[in-house]
Amino acid sequence: MKKARNVEVLIVGAGPVGLFAALILARRGVDVEIIDSQAHGSAHSYALTVHSQTLGMLEEYGLLEQVLQGARKVSRIDYFQGRNRTGGIDLRSTSLRIPYVAVVGQNHLEAVLEDALEQAGVRVQWKHRAAQVKQDADRVYVSGDELEESVIGYAVAHGEGIVRRRREYTASLLLGADGYNSFVRRSLNIAFPEVGSPEDYAVFQFDTLCGECDAVQIVEKEGLVNVRWPIGANGCRWTFELAGEGTPPEYLRRKDPNLVQRIDHTATGPLDEARLQELLAERVPWCPAKVENEYWNLWARFERRLAERFGEGRVWLAGDAGHLSAPVGVQSMNVGLTEVCDLAERLAEVVNTGASLETLEAYNEDRLSEWSFLQGLNGGLEPMPGAEPALVDTRARLLSWLPASGPDLEVFAGALGFKLSGWSPRPRAEKAKSGAA
């Protein structure tokens, strides 16, 4: 039998969260291996925005300039009820050191992280799938499959593996950054209950002749939220919350088990250009968007879930493996990046200084408290005198409509006349080490 590969930290999942963790660990001199069942990095731009706090963290790792290449910096977020503007946040008049969010595709962010990781001497082991995870007091044991690729599906391509050979790993610590259906989480038998109703959205990304809107617009109409993100020079993404349309039509579901589909703009169906025009006319008739060139559209269901724990012993979770949330504030990916930065720094301490595994229990408590707050299970936004009544009416959801994380949430909430109640963000200690391992 082939000898197991022995590493200090094994990471399962090379999405943005796993890649960032691998980079931090490599820069701290930890022997790290990262595996992913896909054939290569993501080619999609799902999560579209990097928060100001995340940009600061990427700056500490010397990655800000690369991430901003091709990004649109947006400093204003406007809130509407129907056609009435109910509030706005101008980041240039706040105390934020980086007074903008960066609208940039998730695929670009992942490419920057993967390049930096390669420069730090670590290559992602694509086409490697974790198939068994066990731990004892001293080590973690992982069996994996090295896959031959055969891509199925026509829209969201995903690999369906034929196993080429079996791989064995032993590691001092394991990080599961393997997304919403996390195999690592399931191996630990950690429950992943729903903590709120799922939300369905239609997403359209297109070029537009309207160059006037340099702000993010968040429009609540009859209990549904609609969001416009400006992209690049002429582009935008409109995301419309859907109600009463139930599950997606069968033909959208059958090729991809992920309940997320993309269809070509030439396809006929519920999300063709006519439906886009209809939604624009119904929800934002005052918006002068003229569709020039529709790139893509999709139907997506965003579930709201929170893991009962973020790991145990030597096996820990971060990112979508531990939480799923609604898309408007782009909190899933951004908070995932912040939490994995904390986790990776703790893992490095365990490996490099022999710190106790107790430090990982503290990580668990911090995550549960932060996500209970973000998911509205504990505390929320408390209006201050003078807060706009229309915003007060939506405050249960408003928290998840703030494109901010960590201490920045206080700044965003304050600009709209609210304070945080039930959770206090802790400033992150700056511990970056930008030199390669």
Ligand X SMILES: Cc1cc2nc3c(=O)[nH]c(=O)nc-3n(C[C@H](O)[C@H](O)[C@H](O)COP(=O)(O)OP(=O)(O)OC[C@H]3O[C@@H](n4cnc5c(N)ncnc54)[C@H](O)[C@@H]3O)c2cc1C
Smaller CB distance to ligand X: residue 196 or 336?
Answer: 336
C-beta of 13 vs 376, nearer to ligand X = 13
Comparing CB distances to ligand X, the nearer of 388 and 405 is: 405
Minimum distance from CB of 111 to ligand X (Å)?
A: 13
Query: Which lies closer to ligand X via its Cβ, residue 229 or residue 383?
Result: 229
Binding residues (CB under 6 A) for ligand X: these are 12-18, 35-38, 46-48, 106, 129-130, 177-179, 183, 260, 298, 300, 319-320, 327, 330-333, 336
Q: Taking the complex as a whole, how short is the minimal distance between the CB of residue 300 and ligand X, in angstroms?
A: 4
Q: Which is nearer to ligand X, 333 or 360 (CB)?
A: 333
HSE-up (13 A, CA, CB side) for residue 362: 10
Residue 374's CB is within 10 A of a number of other CB atoms, namely: 25
Residue 25 or residue 47: which is nearer to ligand X going by CB?
Answer: 47
In the complex with ligand X, which residue's Cβ is closer, 13 or 383?
13
What does residue 116 show for φ and ψ, rounded to 5 degrees? -65, -35
Least separation in angstroms between CB 125 and ligand X:
9
* Nearest Cα to Cα of residue 77 among 402, 424, 430, 413: 402
Residues 27 and 291: their CA atoms lie apart, in Å, by: 45
Task: State the minimum distance, in angstroms, from the CB of residue 119 to ligand X.
Answer: 20
Q: Closest separation between CB of residue 255 and ligand X, Å?
A: 15
Least Å from the CB of residue 92 to ligand X = 23
**Cα–chain-centroid distance for residue 64?**
18
The distance of Cα 344 from the centroid of its chain, to the nearest Å, equals 17
Query: Minimum distance from CB of 360 to ligand X (Å)?
Result: 18
Taking a C-beta distance cutoff of 8 angstroms, is the pair 276, 297 a contact? yes
Residue 16 CB, nearest distance to ligand X (Å)?
5
Q: Which is nearer to ligand X, 131 or 355 (CB)?
A: 131
Of 59 and 178, nearer to ligand X (C-beta) is: 178
- Unique residue bearing structure tokens 């802790």: 426
Closest approach of ligand X to the CB of residue 371, in Å = 13
Residue 239 C-beta: closest distance to ligand X, Å: 7
Question: What's the min distance (Å) between Cβ of 128 and ligand X?
Answer: 6
The answer to whether 177 touches 319, Cβ cutoff 8 Å, is yes
Q: Whose Cβ is closer to ligand X: residue 68's or residue 177's?
A: 177
Alpha-carbon span 410 to 414, nearest angstrom:
6
- The span from the first CA to the last CA of the chain, in angstroms, equals 32
State which residue, 158 or 433, has the beta carbon closest to ligand X: 158
